[in-house]
């Protein structure tokens, strides 16, 4: 039913003679609607409905109230979201404390390995004592620490025994402790600046490579035509897959290598199995047998004694008589999956380049987005390959071999002494010795090999310990050889003949050769080993985890704000540039890198002074996500391997053994638990204690840094950053 409206009283024809431009026109009329869906409207005249409406007049009290309600609703949701995160975090911490297991590595059982932990505990106890002392002084009205220009009271100004003890502590702190801490902090700042300059130079080199589009070129342009002809144009290539108890990933690497686009009669695959689990040995043998039936030239090798770890495994395989026929060897770890055209992208670089010993490819990762730990690892490794390896390969023709996803000239390996078992970084060892012998390396940033990142903090920590203790152990062994090394005679003769043909031979040739030798030694000692392997973990741990908290209790020794905030943020920004999608993680990355400094520092010291587990090799745990999208796929693979043995006429004893293995796996699942790390927890409490002390001195930036860094150490110490075990 439409509303009844009476138009007789609207009075549009009436005008008031005394009205002005701002007066109201007509009489106000209230229209009552019978239909509740219509609104009540007040019309003041015939033109009022067509006049522009002012925005301010449309805002009534009800609208303002609704706006406030909406804003309050958003604020409540934000608070609830933060509360849920905190509750989840507290629940995780509670469960970890009650159900987590304390870190109990073999290295922690030795007294030497516990030295760093005891030093951190000593600093923590001192920090707590200093904090308690300062709090008592604060409540007693002794505010000397608020003033940077410390005024120590005279004898007649001292009131009471506590006041006298406090004044003596101030004098001792000013005269002895503050100068020592200030000297150490200045020393670490100098190291920090030197390392930052080195990092910036590497970044500038990377920008120059990108700007000029510099890439390693194939010397012989007809190599592709040679490869397209008969198989005799293809060199003999040996592919080695070293592995040890790699149950989760053995199949993916063997499958990828067996599908390389290379003539089968010019390729030999060696599966070098060091597994001590017989069930895993059976599975790997079955996989090798499967590809052997398909016509792939593949061999399974197993050592009874795992001496020398990976280096011993590779050395044993290279001693085979048939290896002498091969010219190149490609190495892939068990979780690496090369593309089918890998050899066709790498081998051509060797032709026409007799001084080339190694072609290294880049790593890419299948589980980058699995958790926060893998994302942070991806930032580091992207910078390593995109910047460090590429710049060193282009400008120096030398870099550290990554141990996998590379092709070696077998002649270079033999002339450099082959694989040695003296360290846990056999890849870096052979690279240094080959470099001293005059061989050159090439890094191909466009050739990528798929692999897997460790998803648990336990696996990542053990990997980093090996990566940082091994180089220091190698440095001790290689330093005399680097200092006494000389230019090889054949290199000198080749260079002399080259200059003679160009009529430029002179005494300057000898000087140039000596300069190259001197630069090579300087690069190896100061840049490759000292700056990037020793100085970086030393100042990171000492400056940001020890000296900075101590300056909160000794205000006379100060750290500039640019050391704590500006330069670290800028350097983190440079590190993230090769992985632009990781920019949202710049703050967690900065905090996590400082957190990992305790592990790297401990590994560096143990390798340099042969402490603890400097020669311990622990295989990095893998989840096999590249080949196992779910548990069903794993079960299907096992059944395939067992059925293959059945078709090949395996004996009854072998079948019964496989059935026992299957039943054993079904009945006893592997036990996995998260661990609690003592060193990280001790440093967390030390930094949080220093953060509380910084509040008394009103040092805002220092407080926030210590607070966030302490929380980061706490999360890592409780193993809440990586894979979470149920």
Which residues, in sequence order, are CB contacts of 448 under 8 Å at separation 6+? 339, 361, 362, 363, 364
Q: What is the DSSP letter of 146?
A: G
Annotated active-site positions, please?
A: 274, 427
Q: Per-residue DSSP letters for 164-192?
A: HHHHHHHHHIIIIIHHHHHHHHHHHHHHH
The residue to which tokens 């500006």 are assigned = 566
Q: What is the rounded CA–CA span in Å between residue 500 and residue 165?
A: 81
427 in Cβ contact with 400 (< 8 Å): yes
The residue to which tokens 């860094």 are assigned = 709
C-alpha dist (Å) from residue 1 to 29, 33, 415: 22, 10, 104
Q: What is the rounded CA–CA span in Å between residue 518 and residue 285?
A: 50
203 in Cβ contact with 574 (< 8 Å): yes
Which residues, in sequence order, are CB contacts of 255 under 8 Å at separation 6+? 287, 291, 337, 627
Cα 138 from chain centre: 43
Q: What is the rounded CA–CA span in Å between residue 342 and residue 348?
A: 11
CA angle 426, 439, 523 (to 5 degrees): 75
548 in Cβ contact with 541 (< 8 Å): no
Q: Per-residue b/e over 432-459, b at no fewer than 16 CB within 10 Å?
A: bbbbbebbbbbbbbebbbbbbbbbbbbb
3-state DSSP assignment of residue 272: strand
List phi, psi (to 5°) of 161.
-70, -45
336 in Cβ contact with 365 (< 8 Å): no
Half-sphere exposure (Cβ direction) of 252: Cα atoms closer than 13 Å: 26
First to last CA, the chain: 67
Ranges of H-type helices in 213-328: 223-228, 250-258, 278-293, 309-318
In DSSP terms, which residues pair with 42 in a beta bridge? 30
| Helix (H), strand (E) at residue 443 | strand 440-451
Half-sphere exposure (Cβ direction) of 319: Cα atoms closer than 13 Å: 10
26 in Cβ contact with 46 (< 8 Å): yes
- Pairing outcome for strands 356-365 and 406-409: antiparallel
Q: What is the rounded CA–CA span in Å between residue 536 and residue 543?
A: 11
Query: Token digits for 439?
Result: 């061989």
The residue to which tokens 């930032």 are assigned = 379
């Amino acid at each position: 039913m439409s509303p009844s409206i009476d138009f007789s009283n609207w009075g549009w024809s009436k005008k008031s003679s005394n009205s002005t431009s701002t007066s109201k026109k007509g009489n106000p009329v209230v229209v009552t609607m019978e239909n509740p869906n219509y609104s009540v409207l007040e019309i003041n005249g015939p033109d009022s409905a067509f006049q522009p409406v002012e925005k301010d007049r449309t805002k009534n009290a009800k609208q303002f109230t609704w706006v406030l309600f909406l804003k309050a609703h958003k604020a409540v949701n934000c608070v609830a979201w933060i509360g849920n995160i905190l509750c989840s975090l507290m629940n995780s911490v509670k469960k970890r404390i009650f159900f987590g297991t304390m870190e109990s590595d073999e290295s922690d059982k030795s007294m030497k390995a516990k030295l760093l932990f005891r030093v951190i505990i000593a600093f923590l106890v001192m920090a707590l004592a200093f904090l308690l002392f300062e709090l008592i002084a604060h409540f007693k009205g002794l505010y000397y620490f608020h003033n940077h220009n410390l005024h120590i009271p005279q004898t007649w100004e001292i009131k009471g025994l506590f006041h006298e003890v406090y004044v003596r502590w101030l004098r001792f702190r000013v005269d002895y402790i503050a100068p020592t801490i200030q000297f150490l902090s200045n020393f670490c700042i100098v190291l920090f600046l030197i390392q930052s300059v080195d990092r910036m130079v590497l970044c500038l080199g990377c920008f120059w490579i990108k700007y000029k589009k510099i890439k390693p070129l194939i010397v012989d342009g007809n190599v592709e035509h040679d490869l397209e002809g008969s198989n005799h144009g293809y060199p003999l290539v040996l592919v080695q897959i070293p592995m040890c108890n790699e149950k989760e990933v053995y199949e993916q690497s063997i499958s990828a290598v067996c599908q390389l686009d290379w003539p089968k009669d010019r390729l030999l695959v060696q599966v070098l199995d060091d597994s001590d689990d017989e069930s895993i040995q059976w599975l790997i043998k079955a996989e090798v047998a499967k590809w052997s039936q398909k016509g792939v030239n593949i061999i399974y090798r197993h050592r009874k004694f795992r001496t020398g770890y990976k280096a011993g495994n590779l050395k044993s395989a290279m001693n085979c008589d048939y290896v002498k026929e091969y010219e190149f060897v490609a190495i892939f770890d068990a979780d690496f999956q090369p593309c089918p055209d890998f050899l066709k992208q790498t081998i051509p670089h060797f032709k026409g380049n007799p001084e080339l010993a190694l072609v290294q490819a880049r790593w890419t990762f299948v589980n980058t987005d699995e958790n926060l730990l893998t994302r942070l690892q991806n930032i580091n490794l992207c910078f390593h390959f995109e910047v460090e390896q590429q710049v060193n390969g282009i400008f120096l023709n030398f870099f550290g071999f990554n141990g996998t996803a590379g092709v070696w000239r077998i002649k270079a390996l033999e002339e450099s002494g082959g694989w040695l078992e003296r360290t846990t970084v056999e890849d870096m060892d052979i690279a240094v010795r080959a470099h001293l012998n005059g061989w050159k390396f090439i890094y191909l940033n466009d050739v990528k090999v798929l692999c897997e990142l460790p998803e648990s903090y336990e696996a990542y920590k053990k990997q980093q310990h090996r990566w940082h203790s091994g180089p220091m152990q190698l440095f001790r062994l290689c330093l005399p050889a680097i200092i006494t090394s000389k230019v090889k005679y054949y290199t000198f003769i080749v260079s002399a003949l080259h200059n003679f043909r160009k009529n430029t031979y002179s005494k300057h040739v000898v000087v140039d050769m000596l300069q190259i030798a001197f630069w090579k030694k300087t690069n190896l000692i100061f840049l490759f080993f000292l700056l990037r392997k020793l100085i970086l973990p030393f100042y990171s741990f000492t400056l940001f985890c020890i000296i900075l908290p101590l300056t909160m209790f000794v205000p006379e020794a100060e750290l500039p704000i640019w050391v704590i905030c500006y330069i670290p943020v800028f350097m983190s920004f440079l590190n993230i540039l090769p992985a632009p999608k990781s920019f949202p993680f710049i703050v967690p990355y900065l905090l996590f890198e400082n957190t990992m400094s305790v592990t790297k520092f401990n590994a560096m010291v143990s390798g340099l002074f042969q402490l603890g587990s400097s020669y311990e090799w622990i295989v990095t745990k893998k989840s096999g996500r590249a080949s196992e999208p779910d548990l069903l796929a794993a079960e299907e693979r096992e059944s395939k391997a067992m059925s293959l043995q059945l078709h090949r006429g395996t004996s009854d004893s072998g079948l019964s053994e496989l059935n026992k293995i299957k039943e054993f796996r079904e009945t006893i699942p592997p036990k996995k638990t998260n661990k609690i790390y003592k060193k990280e927890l001790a440093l967390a409490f030390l930094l949080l204690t220093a953060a509380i002390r910084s509040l008394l001195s009103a040092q805002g930036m220092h407080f926030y840094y210590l607070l966030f860094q302490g929380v980061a150490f706490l999360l890592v110490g409780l193993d809440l950053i990586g894979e979470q075990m149920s």
